[in-house]
Structure 1
Amino acid sequence: MQRRTLLRGAAAAVAAQAAQSFAQSSAQGYPNHAVTLIVPYAAGGNADLTARLFGDALGKALGQPVVVDNRAGGGGAIGANVVVNARPDGYTLLFSAPSVFSVTPHLVKVNYSTASVRPVCLVSKTPLVLVVKKGSRYKSLADVVTAAKAAPAGVAMGYSGLGTPNHLAMLNLEAVAQVRFNGIPYKGSGPMLQDMLAGQIEVGADQISTSRPYIESGDLIPLAVFGSKLEALPEVPSVSTLGKEPFDVTTYLGIAAPSATPDALVAALQKAAGTALQDARFTTGMTKLGALVQGGSGADYERLMRTENEFMAQMVASGRVKQE
């Protein structure tokens, strides 16, 4: 018995040493070819635009091309599945909001969990706004809430897909205002905004980065900000005027890797990401989008996942959210 215990201990030590050696050698030669950023959302949206800006900067920092690959669908689950099942070698990464792991599993059936991924870092944050078409009967946040209270599920609100931060923003507003909306999920902000401009839906929850051109042209009117008030929209109130917000619904984006990715590779990625976040072209591009550079550790990404997961668990328990 003692001999078997010693042998098992020796085998475990050899395995651990081999894993450490592999990680060190992988990091030393990393990367030696292109890195792929999987974006689990449609092209043209906030995450896609940010990923392409950041990918260019990250590629310069790594010394290898960074390719953005859109794999939209399933509330981000399709893209997430690609990454969690990829080799943990640092060449296939996810660029997304933490909600892909904390919100989507409460809405659709997925084959992964928060344990399937290793958060690497945060990259950006983008405020969300509640918008209506020019000439809408809704002139204020109070108008929207009053209408929703008068006709439960009668006010159609568009958002960019199940499990997205936009969906989370709508659920947040429902919780704060104690109302229900007729939520309409789209495959990205682009289709949702086109339907809004065409008069197909009345209200939308969207990132300022994609709504901004229409706000500046006067075609869309912002009625509220999901989070802190914006310096760029000083007259637009926060949903916090309705009561205490359950959590921050600002859109955070970052990088995540397969759960078995070695520490040395994660450290190499974090170092390169830190350099990329200071890239002048990236920071200028983010300013033009109306988004903010937001560095943060893997622990920060994980904290956001945990907070969102707890909120969604409450929504499920209350009956406000059901898995499809």
Structure 2
Amino acid sequence: MPGITRRVFAASSVAAAASTLFTPARAQVYPARPVSLIVPWGAGGGSDATARIIATLLEKELGQPFNVVNLTGGSGVVGHGEIATARPDGYTIGMLTVEIAMLHWQAMTHLTPRNFTPLALMNEDPPGVQVSTSSPYKSAKDLVNAIKASPPGRFRASGTGQGGIWHLALVGWMQAMGMPANQVAWSASNGAAPAMQDLVAGNLDLTTCSVPEARATIEASQARSLAIMAHARNPSFPDVPTLKETLGVDYSTSSWRGIAAPKGVSPEIVTRLTTALKKVSDSSAFKDFMTGRGFGTVWRDAGEFETFMEQADRQMGQAMRAAGFAKS
């Protein structure tokens, strides 16, 4: 080989082969294998159902299975912890729920929304104000006037356990109306369904669970929803006004679900996942599934979801301090 030694030729050949091996054309496109989607709550619930329709549609978009893994325990601490501590390679993502903005205030975990890489907010369900059909209160204004005229604790409400999201919604609402956090006594329950049963039985004066959770009782003509704590009406329940419409108070809160990854996931993977999630959110399959169950749909991209969680975290902290539940 004139002008080139055998050693130089061999070295240049190896370099050329390595260069070809690692060119972008040969790089694996994410995702190259199945992805785990962790849900901090049990199978069969609303979070699980929402995660499974998202996972099914992500598989269609990205060509790899998205396997839902239910990791329960510690009021959501276990599952959220597994999402936060997973390898930031994009192959473990998860569903964040409103509890991630609550648990650290109760000193149940060190995790906050800042321990995650937000991808998208896809569901938001504001609480409603429900009374039984036998209640004398036909509007939220009638109910509030009666609450204000009564001594603290005279009215009883429920919708979840002590310090749960619907309890804090009531506390925030009372404060927004200029009343003490304990103006309405809270009766802890194991969820919205038993609370609605207690409402119908006359053991409660109102519930503050979401309207979808109260839907069966409302459709059975055993209860009615007087208002929702949201900026706009729910299209699935167009006859239920917002608090601002009926009371003039601009207070809103919600239970919500979004998709996130561990801290440190690459921007390229974040963009790919968020783009796919946007297509899922816009699909008729997702919208029909959520509407059929009365679940609210919303879209906030990674940056908007991060801002949303920061605001939710502050709001939950204020409500917990007012109710005496904050320990951190």
Fold shared by both chains (TM-score > 0.5): yes
Q: 2:212 maps to what in 1?
A: 209
Q: Percent identity?
A: 26
In the alignment, is residue 223 of structure 1 matched against residue 222 of structure 2?
no
Residues 34 and 64 of structure 2 are in contact (CA less than 8 Å); yes or no, is this contact kept in structure 1?
yes
Separation in structure 1 between the aligned mates of residue 204 and residue 73 of structure 2, nearest angstrom:
21
Q: Answer yes or no: is the 8 Å Cα contact 1:37–1:55 preserved in 2.
A: no
Tell me: CA distance 1:226–1:277, structure 2 relative to 1, closer, same or farther (3 Å).
Answer: same
Q: Secondary structure at the match of 2:209?
A: strand
Query: What's the offset of the Cα at 1:235?
Result: 4.2
Residue identity matched to 2:210: Q
Contact 1:37 1:66 in 2 (8 A): no
Q: Secondary structure at the match of 2:240?
A: coil
For the residues of structure 2 that align with 1:36 and 1:134, how far apart are their CA atoms? 41
Residue 242 of structure 1 is matched in structure 2 by 247
5 Å-filtered alignment, 1:40-119, equals 40-41=40-41, 43-72=43-72, 74-97=74-97, 99-119=98-118
Give the Cα separation in 1 of the matches to 2:167 and 2:217: 21
1:87 Cα deviation (Å)? 2.4
**1:94–1:158: structure 2 CA closer, same or farther, 3 Å change rule?**
farther
Give TM-score, length-normalised by structure 1: 0.77
* Matched residue count: 298
Equivalent position amino acid for 1:58 in 2: L
1:73, 1:137 → 2: CA distance? 41
Q: Secondary structure at the match of 2:326?
A: coil
Q: Contact between 1:176 and 1:242, CA under 8 Å: does it hold in 2? A: no
**What's the offset of the Cα at 1:162?**
6.4
SS at match of 1:294: strand
Question: Structure 1, residues 233-262: CA drift from partner, whole Å, max 9, x if none?
Answer: 44433222434324x324442111211222
- CA-based RMSD: 3.2
Aligned to 2:171: 171
Q: Distance in 2 between matches of 1:113 and 1:154?
A: 36
Match of 1:36 in 2: 37
Distance in structure 2 (CA, Å) of the matches to 1:257 and 1:173:
32
Q: 1:13 corresponds to which residue?
A: none
Deviations 1:12-52 (A, max 9, x none): xxxxxxxxx9xxx99734241242231x3455544333223
Please give the residue correspondences for 1:116-131 in structure 2 after superposition, counting only pairs within 5 Å: 116-131=115-130
Q: Which runs of 5+ in 1 are unaligned?
A: 1-20
Instruction: Report the residue type matching 2:300 in the other structure.
Output: G
